[in-house]
Structure 1
Amino acid sequence: MTPTWDSDQDNPVSKPLGVIGWALVLVRGLILGTLVFGGLLVLLLVRLVERPLFGLRRPWTPFITQFVCRTAFFILNVPFRTTGALMKQHGAVVANHSSWLDIFALNARKRIYFVSKAEVAQWPGIGWLARATGTVFINRDPKEARAQKGVFESRLNAGHKLLFFPEGTSTDATRVLPFKPTLFAAFFSEGLRDTIYVQPVSVIYHAPKGEDARFYGWWGDMEFGEHMLKILGARRQGSVELVYHSAVKVSDFKSRKDLAAYCETQVRSGVENRLQKP
């Protein structure tokens, strides 16, 4: 298993929420919870009809997920903006990973299916949501590589846009870790290499004014509940920005390492360039 990344600096000190902060937690949390789990119920009901008609393909339910994720940023009062064109070809998306908020951000613009470590399926709440929205769960075990490669191929051939986090862990939202080339291997199979494209995406978090630049990052041994309370109770929010880089064809690269290195360069440049701007 890939170890969770941790910083060599002390974690940001969370400020007391205060009366207004706790009021925001209550109001935002209630509305957001109703939105997420209400959306999940609707999705499951629609899936009862969608699955027998279309099987692996999901022509309807991803729109429900996208609506929920877009609305979540409105509830949190976090401005959300994007630049760059969405890829029209079949293939996958790769992005840097900073926070659980990445799930909302990346789903808000593009209808995608995440590739996640198997442990997430067992997490209360999050695991249920992940399974319902079509997340692909993988074990980082070389013995299962062939089977997982087959799953990727079937999903990609069904027209699904798979989302990978090649860093293998989340960070503090101020850096991009080296991309691991392992998951890129599936793209080079004989049935996919000549038809599949990959689109790098930079996910950038701008901290609220006066807050630590790592405000939205979630890493190391940070508790999910505590981090969520901080975001829900923030009186002043920052913003989230996505930069979609040009999609590239897998067959234009000699190996998975070359493709991983290219995607890392694109994502890193997008993050670093945008963080330098106010």
Structure 2
Amino acid sequence: MTQPKRAPQTPLWMGGEPPVDPPKSAADKLRLGLRGLAIGLLLSGGLVVLLLLRLIERPIHGAARPWTPSLTRVVCRLTIAIIGIRYKVRGTPMHHIGAVVANHSSWLDIFALNACQRVYFVSKEEVARWPFVGWLAQATGTVFIRRDPRQAKAQQAVFEARIRAGHHLLFFPEGTSTDGLQVLPFKTTLFQAFYTHGLDRVMQIQPVSVIYHAPKGEDPRYYGWWRDMAFATHLAKVLAAPRQGEIEVVFHDPLNVADYPSRKELAAACEVAVRAGVDQALSR
């Protein structure tokens, strides 16, 4: 088959950060407090319910998770609604055995991508040690990886087991978050896991584009979270905003892994699809 042309390789983007002003007015601080409290209660309550439900689900279904992902979807959708961001989904999440790859712009990606499908994120090992966030990630079935070549085979075995169990693992192949206005070249390393023990003959990869539209009058990079931005400051800015923008999630046609002879061709095809979705949405 004819392979899609990969976008030109460019140096790693490290764009400057826009200034993040902390909430100043009484109204901003009130919005921050109310939204923060509501989200905190929602996530804490959801975590408790999920853990209790998992106590029943795990003995009955083992590695499969037929119940708890639905709770995760509801909690993430409600979180987006509390923040006040408009949310739009185009395309359909696949049901075939496989994995999902998406561009990475913000901590909001976790909510945006969980709110419309059943997925399990692949994250760096450090996240597991973050207070509260790490607990949420572990409870929702996140796969943690260590950036150590010596761990590659062990991690591939974990990926394969989870995928064969019917879990749709979600990867961010860029390896870092951006300002939301571009897609970085996809790293190919993790794609190798899809070529082990005949997995490539039975699975698909679905590329997904996540696009952020800033509130009217704000910097187009408003929701992007990258470089040295402090999480708490960026979170406060978003929660305190009097006007919100929109998140758009675009599901592209799944790709058969068997149609691509190596991880490089597969990564390139996924990158082209994701990049096209972002560019098309931002050009409207």
TM-score (structure 1 length as normaliser): 0.96
1:197 aligns with 2:204: yes
Name the CA distance, whole Å, in 1 between partners of 2:268 and 2:21.
35
Shift of 1:190: 2.3
Tell me the secondary structure at the aligned position of residue 210 of structure 1.
coil
Paired position in structure 2 for 1:270: 277
Q: Which amino acid aligns with 1:22?
A: K
Match of 2:103 among 77, 96, 99: 96
Name the CA distance, whole Å, in 2 between partners of 1:10 and 1:89.
39
Larger deviation, residues 156-165 vs 188-197: 188-197
After superposition, give the CA deviation of every residue in 1:19-55 in whole Å (9 maximum; x if it has no partner).
1111001111111111111000000000111111111
Larger deviation, residues 50-59 vs 112-121: 50-59
Paired position in structure 2 for 1:62: 69
Kept in 2, the 8 Å contact 1:96–1:176? The answer is: yes
Match of 1:254 among 256, 261, 266: 261
Tell me the secondary structure at the aligned position of residue 272 of structure 2.
helix
Paired position in structure 2 for 1:210: 217
Match of 1:31 among 29, 35, 38: 38
Alignment of 1:54-203 (within 5 A): 54-203=61-210
Shift of 1:189: 1.0
TM-score (structure 2 length as normaliser): 0.94
Paired position in structure 2 for 1:230: 237
Shift of 1:13: 4.1
Kept in 2, the 8 Å contact 1:93–1:200? The answer is: yes
> What is the Cα-based RMSD across aligned positions, in Å?
1.1
Number of aligned residue pairs: give it: 273
Kept in 2, the 8 Å contact 1:6–1:219? The answer is: no
1:243 aligns with 2:250: yes
Note closer, same or farther for the CA distance 1:119–1:268 as it changes in structure 2 (3 Å cut): same
Shift of 1:6: 6.5
Name the CA distance, whole Å, in 1 between partners of 2:234 and 2:159.
32
Note closer, same or farther for the CA distance 1:140–1:193 as it changes in structure 2 (3 Å cut): same
Note closer, same or farther for the CA distance 1:89–1:267 as it changes in structure 2 (3 Å cut): same
Kept in 1, the 8 Å contact 2:100–2:170? The answer is: yes
Q: Which amino acid aligns with 1:225?
A: A
Shift of 1:165: 0.2
After superposition, give the CA deviation of every residue in 1:241-273 in whole Å (9 maximum; x if it has no partner).
001000011000010000000100000010011
Tell me the secondary structure at the aligned position of residue 201 of structure 2.
coil
Shift of 1:14: 2.6
Name the CA distance, whole Å, in 2 between partners of 1:105 and 1:170.
15
Note closer, same or farther for the CA distance 1:13–1:42 as it changes in structure 2 (3 Å cut): closer
**Unmatched 5+ residue regions in structure 1?**
none
**Unmatched 5+ residue regions in structure 2?**
1-11
Paired position in structure 2 for 1:9: 16
Q: Which stretches of structure 1, 4 residues or longer, exceed 2 Å deviation after superposition?
A: 5-17
Kept in 1, the 8 Å contact 2:98–2:163? The answer is: yes
